[in-house]
């Protein structure tokens, strides 16, 4: 309400300012659609993080918000494709660490997936192309963010970058993924302290235990769901690469020349 003690011109100015703020708020709300229920942490990440836009040959084209990069409307209309990574961390018993994504995640909440999945950001340290150092820097950052694993426990030089795949996957009617995904392997015994904003649960599995999880997911048992990118890696690469991990011959599996198109 305008104050009666203010001159008329000041009252008009006050109303104008209030109306401008209302219009601005309305415009922002409309642009965000039905995102009012988005978790505050996820909202910050969606609007603050700038993903790296690439073409199908993984050449950098520019950048856009994580929000825009995951809108299926933008993916389909503008063919937005961004760079991503998937970390597969094994302990000294060659068991793979899996995580269940948090319930508050915007895309694919509560699905089970590999150790850590995220995006290098459009910043100098994560754009370094030599030996995918920028991607490995991003992976180290997110292992701390998501799982509480300090950088010194996962040195970037210890990551093996095995290959890249290009895929597209809808999450629901609004959100989805369209990524050139770098596949990173690491064998380390680490202490894990999951961030509940990112991770609902974790577990280590051997090959037979993972096959049982796949069976349950395929049968729809226990409401178990796997992320589409994890399933693509499992179906196309994981078990043969896992054998290389156990034999100590992982370098024989590296192929960074090919981008496997799994759409």
What confidence tens digit (pLDDT) does each residue in 20-39 have? 333 333 333 333 345 655 66
Alpha carbons within 13 angstroms on the beta-carbon side of residue 71 total 16
Listed as ranges, residues in the chain with pLDDT below 70 are 1-48
Whether 101 and 109 have beta carbons less than 8 Å apart is answered as yes
Does residue 34 lie in a domain region? no
In this structure, the dihedral spanned by the alpha carbons of residues 31, 174, 170 and 89, taken in order and rounded to 10 degrees, is 60
Question: Would you state the pLDDT for residue 194?
Answer: 98
Does residue 10 lie in a domain region? no
Does residue 143 lie in a domain region? yes
Does residue 14 lie in a domain region? no
Whole domain around residue 227: which residue ranges? Answer: 40-247+256-261
Does residue 27 lie in a domain region? no
The Cα 99–Cα 147 span in angstroms is 9
Whether 182 and 84 have beta carbons less than 8 Å apart is answered as yes
- What residues are annotated to the active site? 117, 179
The Cα 183–Cα 245 span in angstroms is 14
Alpha carbons within 13 angstroms on the beta-carbon side of residue 70 total 23
Does residue 191 lie in a domain region? yes
Does residue 181 lie in a domain region? yes
- Segment 195-223, tens digit of pLDDT: 999 999 999 999 999 999 999 999 999 99
Question: Would you state the pLDDT for residue 47?
Answer: 52
Whether 119 and 52 have beta carbons less than 8 Å apart is answered as yes
Does residue 24 lie in a domain region? no
Question: Would you state the pLDDT for residue 163?
Answer: 98
Question: Would you state the pLDDT for residue 3?
Answer: 37
Question: Would you state the pLDDT for residue 4?
Answer: 36
The Cα 35–Cα 43 span in angstroms is 9
* Domain total of the chain: 1
Where do the DSSP E strands lie in 43-152? 50-54, 60-65, 82-90, 96-101, 112-113, 116-118
Whichever domain contains 66, its CATH number is 3.90.79.10
């Amino acid at each position: 309400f305008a104050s009666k003690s203010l001159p008329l011109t000041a009252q008009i100015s006050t109303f104008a300012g209030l109306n401008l703020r209302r219009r601005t708020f309305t415009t922002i709300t409309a642009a965000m659609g039905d995102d009012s229920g988005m978790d505050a942490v996820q909202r910050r990440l969606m609007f603050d993080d700038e993903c790296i836009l690439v073409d199908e040959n993984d050449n950098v084209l520019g950048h856009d918000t994580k929000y825009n990069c995951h809108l299926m409307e933008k993916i389909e209309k503008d063919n937005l494709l961004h760079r991503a990574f998937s970390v597969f961390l094994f302990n000294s018993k060659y068991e793979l660490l899996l995580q269940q994504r948090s319930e508050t995640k915007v895309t694919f909440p509560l699905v089970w997936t590999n150790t850590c999945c995220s995006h290098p950001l459009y910043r100098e340290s994560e754009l370094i192309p030599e030996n995918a150092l920028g991607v490995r820097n991003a992976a180290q950052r997110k292992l701390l963010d998501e799982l509480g694993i300090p950088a010194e426990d996962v040195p970037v030089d210890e990551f093996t970058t095995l290959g890249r795949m290009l895929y597209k996957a809808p999450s629901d009617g609004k959100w989805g993924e369209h990524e050139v995904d770098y596949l990173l392997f690491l064998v380390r015994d680490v202490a894990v302290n999951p961030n509940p904003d990112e991770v609902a649960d974790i577990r280590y599995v051997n090959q037979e235990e993972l096959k049982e999880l796949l069976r349950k997911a395929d049968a729809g048992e226990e409401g178990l769901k796997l992320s589409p990118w994890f399933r693509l890696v499992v179906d196309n690469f994981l078990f043969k690469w896992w054998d290389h991990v156990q034999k100590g011959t992982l370098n024989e599996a590296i192929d960074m020349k090919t981008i496997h198109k799994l759409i």
